[in-house]
Amino acid sequence: MSVTVGRESPTRAAAILGLTISAGLILAGFALGHAAAELRSAQRVVSVKGLAEREVMADLALWPIVFSSSADTLLDLDKQIQAKHLVIREFLAERGFPAHAVSTSVPRLTDFKTDRPGSPLPPEGRYLAETTLTLRSRNVGALKAAMQESGELVRRGIPLVRSYEAGPRFLFTSLAAIKPTMIAAATRDARRAAQQFAQDSDSRVGAIRRAQQGYFSIADREGFSPEHKTIRVVTHVDYFLVD
């Protein structure tokens, strides 16, 4: 009798082990299948871009006023420069710009005798200086109006020089104040694009999987009115698609 029991015990143990392994494999298969389904669901993502644009006015303007002076001695040259400074500052003061809004650069000096030996001297003298006075103002409209009246400076004896290196600049410096609303607008635009994709695939737009803010760009709206700016931002957003 003990021999019979001894032969059945290994058989029963093997059967129990087999059932346990089978149950484990079934559970593992179920878990793997569930994980695979979740993985497939996680992979249902749509990547879209959202655009936001806004037109703004420049809130800071810089006008470099470049003029020339010529004399045979440095002392006479300096006297000419100072006299022309006063004329320009008076012109700007008449248009409401305070003295602290104007800054002066170091003159660019040419000595025709040493810098250009052998060339004929200009009629005015040996030295030629180009000086820049820069007007900086947040009253953009008044500054542009003064620029349009710059012919008055010529009538007052100021020989203005057209400089491609120092042209007027119109800037927008308040980007931080409008960033949040523009990003929100770009994100809404991205969601509208995602909803179109979801509609075409009989799905719904879920939560944001990943979002990336693009760079803000500020450009002149057109070449003839640089005080008008166009601000643009593009966002990149990944949305989950759900049934």
Query: Looking at the structure, do residues 112 and 73 belong to the same domain, yes or no?
Result: yes
Q: Alpha-carbon Rg of the chain, whole angstroms? A: 38
Which structural domain range is residue 67 located in?
60-171
Q: What is the mean pLDDT of residues 172-187?
A: 94
Q: Tens digits of per-residue pLDDT, 25-47?
A: 454 444 444 434 444 444 688 88
Query: Looking at the structure, do residues 212 and 154 belong to the same domain, yes or no?
Result: no
Given 115, 144, 171, the domain boundary residue is 171
Query: Tokens 């008044």 sit at which residue?
Result: 142
Q: Which residues pair with 133 in a beta bridge?
A: 65, 104
Query: Looking at the structure, do residues 102 and 153 belong to the same domain, yes or no?
Result: yes
Query: Looking at the structure, do residues 4 and 92 belong to the same domain, yes or no?
Result: no
Query: Looking at the structure, do residues 31 and 72 belong to the same domain, yes or no?
Result: no
Query: Looking at the structure, do residues 132 and 79 belong to the same domain, yes or no?
Result: yes
Query: Looking at the structure, do residues 15 and 105 belong to the same domain, yes or no?
Result: no
CATH, residue 134: 3.30.70.2970
Given 121, 137, 171, the domain boundary residue is 171
CATH, residue 187: 3.30.110.170
Query: Looking at the structure, do residues 91 and 181 belong to the same domain, yes or no?
Result: no
3-state secondary structure of 157: coil
Q: How far apart are CA 119 and CA 211, in angstroms?
A: 65
Given 118, 145, 171, the domain boundary residue is 171
| 15 pLDDT more than 70 | no
Query: Looking at the structure, do residues 136 and 123 belong to the same domain, yes or no?
Result: yes
pLDDT band at residue 227 using 50, 70 and 90 as cut-offs: very high
pLDDT of residue 21: 56
Q: How far apart are CA 127 and CA 118, in angstroms?
A: 15
Lowest mean per-residue pLDDT among 30-34, 72-76, 215-219, 225-229? 30-34
Number of domains making up the chain: 3
Decide: 125 and 76 in contact? Cβ < 8 Å. yes
**H or E element, residue 208:** strand 204-213
pTM exceeds cut of 0.85: no
Per the prediction, the chain carries an average pLDDT of 84
